[in-house]
Amino acid sequence: MNTSTFMPEVVMTDSFEELKSTLSVNLKLYRARVGLSQERLALESGVDRTVVSRLERCLINPTLQILLKLAVRLEVPVHELLMDRHNQK
């Protein structure tokens, strides 16, 4: 039995911070498109208003459950909230 395991090289970059920033931008964009305030989005998606505010300011990391709730209310797939539109080719 081969005990060696393939371990991909992990490169530490600012990609996590970039992902949080992308989520922030997209959350604001989609929220504006449907004409909702932070408070209304929170109420209609079942999350606390402070969560929406803190996500938009890159202060917290959302759970998958929160991402799903927000995406459902915004009527977008979850992955749309995480897509970086500025660096697409």
Structural domain contains residue 87:
no
Structural domain contains residue 2:
no
Average pLDDT of span 2-13 = 46
Structural domain contains residue 51:
yes
Q: What is the pLDDT of residue 11?
A: 40
Structural domain contains residue 36:
yes
What domain range is 24 assigned to? 15-82
Task: Break the chain down into helix, strand, coil percent, rounded to 5.
Answer: 55, 0, 45
Q: What is the pLDDT of residue 35?
A: 98
Domains held by the chain: number: 1
Give the pLDDT confidence of 8-25 residue by residue, as tens digits.
443 434 688 999 999 999
Structural domain contains residue 20:
yes
Tracing tokens 């911070």 back to the chain, one arrives at 17
Give the pLDDT confidence of 43-89 residue by residue, as tens digits.
999 999 999 999 999 999 999 999 999 999 999 999 999 998 776 54
Query: Which CATH number fits the domain that encloses residue 77?
Result: 1.10.260.40
Structural domain contains residue 75:
yes
Pairwise CA distance, residues 74 & 36, whole Å: 9
